């Protein structure tokens, strides 16, 4: 099932097709966060997984794959699906005005749904979000023994939560049962776990990612998300952990 809830983006999306494919973002802006809620048991999800992989190559995008548990009782249990990921998807129901949750679902900037199988549609919405974004708090990551997140002061910033995710940059799974039986399914930026680092209210603040949060080879993504609208104000990405 595919839904496109792009209400409020009409003015932003009056851009030419070529401009939507330029994939150019201002150097002083944070990447646009794209979330894909997917499952290895979902027959429509492989195409969406490929779209996310393509988007993940872009420097102006922070693309994350949240595997959910919706298909786990239908022939194949997704080894990356977690109740926390499913709860995150369900939390978007109200702000996105959805009657139900479904896969694959792609959410851009915490506010807009796009057809998850259509990279050109996703690119157009990403471009619109980038061009319409007003000044927002900036996230700055530094890495020592732990990853420290500095959020600069921003007058008028809404009450927000700072989130961090540990993700696997690339995985492949041989699916033996269910709707995708016999397929080897690659996925990019698969979230293994995510946590709240704390609340942000507009004043400059520092947050720390626990030292043991990410495993060897995992990347760390951090984002600032407004409560309760879900709008993602800023995002940042740290290179995979090496020990």
d(CA 28, CA 155): 18
Residues in the chain where the model's pLDDT stays below 70: 1-28, 243
Predicted pLDDT of residue 243: 63
Segment 13-52, tens digit of pLDDT: 333 333 333 332 233 478 999 999 999 999 999 999 999 9
In angstroms and rounded to an integer, the radius of gyration of the C-alpha atoms of the chain is: 17
Each residue's pLDDT tens digit, 97-115: 998 999 999 999 999 999 9
The edge-to-edge listing of strands for the beta sheet with 112-114 is 112-114, 105-108, 32-38, 61-67, 184-200, 160-174, 219-226, 232-238
Question: What is the overall mean pLDDT for the chain?
Answer: 87
Domains and CATH numbers, the chain: 17-238 (3.40.30.10)
Contacts of 27 (CB under 8 A, 6+ apart): none
């Amino acid at each position: 099932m595919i839904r496109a809830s792009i209400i409020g983006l009409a003015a932003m999306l009056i851009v030419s097709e070529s401009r939507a494919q330029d994939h150019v973002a201002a150097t002083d802006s944070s990447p646009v966060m794209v979330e894909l809620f997917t499952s290895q048991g979902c027959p429509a999800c492989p195409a969406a997984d490929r779209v996310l992989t393509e988007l993940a190559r872009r420097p102006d995008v922070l693309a994350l794959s949240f595997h959910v548990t919706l298909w786990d009782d239908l022939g194949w249990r997704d080894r990356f699906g977690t109740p926390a990921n499913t709860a995150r998807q369900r939390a978007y129901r109200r702000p996105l005005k959805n009657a139900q949750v479904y896969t694959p679902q792609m959410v851009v900037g915490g506010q807009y749904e796009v057809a998850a199988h259509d990279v050109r549609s996703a690119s157009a919405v990403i471009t619109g979000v980038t061009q319409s974004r007003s000044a927002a708090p900036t996230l700055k990551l530094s890495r020592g023994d732990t990853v420290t997140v500095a959020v600069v002061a921003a007058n008028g910033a809404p009450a927000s939560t700072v989130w961090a995710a540990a993700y696997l940059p690339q995985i492949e799974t041989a699916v033996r049962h269910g709707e995708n039986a016999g397929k080897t399914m690659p996925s990019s930026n698969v979230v293994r776990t995510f946590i709240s680092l704390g609340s942000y209210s507009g004043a400059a603040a520092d947050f720390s990612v626990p030292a043991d949060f990410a495993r060897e080879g995992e990347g760390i993504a951090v984002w600032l998300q407004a409560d309760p609208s879900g709008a993602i104000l800023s995002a940042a990405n740290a290179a995979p952990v090496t020990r």
